[in-house]
Structure 1
Amino acid sequence: MFAVIKKVSCRFVGETGIADFHRCIGHGFDDVGEAAWVFSSEVHGRGYAFEAADAAHRWFARQKGDSQTVCLIDPANGPSLAQAARLGYSPFW
C-alpha cells in the first residue's frame, strides 16, 4: 500500500495499492493481487483516488507483468464502484 500525501500541505489524505490480504474467499480472488483505496472525504471528487490508484496499478504492472487483479467493494459504495470501473474492473459473483 502507498500513502497519498498532498504536496502543498504535506497532509496524509489516503492510501492505495495492490496487496495480498489473505481473505480466503476462494480461487480467482485469493490467488491474485487485490486493489484497495481509501481516501479522506476532504479530497473526494477531486481525482486524487483515481490518479493514485492508477499509478499503483502501473507500478504493479511493471513489477508483476500483466497479472490479473481484483477488488472487493460494497455494492452500495457507488463512488468506489465508479472508480473500479474507471480502472478497468467489472463485477463478478
Structure 2
Amino acid sequence: MLENVGEVDLEFFMAVEDDGSVSTYETVATFHVEETDEDFIIFAEEGAQEGEELEVMVALYNPAEVVEGNAGMPLVTLYALENEEQAELVEAVLHDMMEEE
C-alpha cells in the first residue's frame, strides 16, 4: 500500500503515464491558488542540460496524494488542466518567473 509522505521536497518526482510507464521529472515550481484551492506543478523532463531551452509542462496535482515511490523518490499523480482560466493563470505565473530571472 502506498503511504502519503505529506509535505515533501519535490525537486524530482516520478509520475505514472497514461500507458502505465513511469517517468522522472524535475520540478520547476509549485504554487497554490487560494481562490480556487488548486495546486499546480510546473515541471520538465529530468536531464535538461544547463543552457538548453527548457521545455516545461504544467499540471494540477494534490499534495495530499504524493506518496513515496521507488528509491524514496516522490510519486505524484498529475491531472490535466481543466479550463482556459487555469492555462491563463499558469501562463501569467511563468511570465512573472521569467521576469524575475
Between structures 1 and 2, the one with greater helix share: 1
Scaled by the length of structure 2, what TM-score is found?
A: 0.37
Scaled by the length of structure 1, what TM-score is found?
A: 0.39
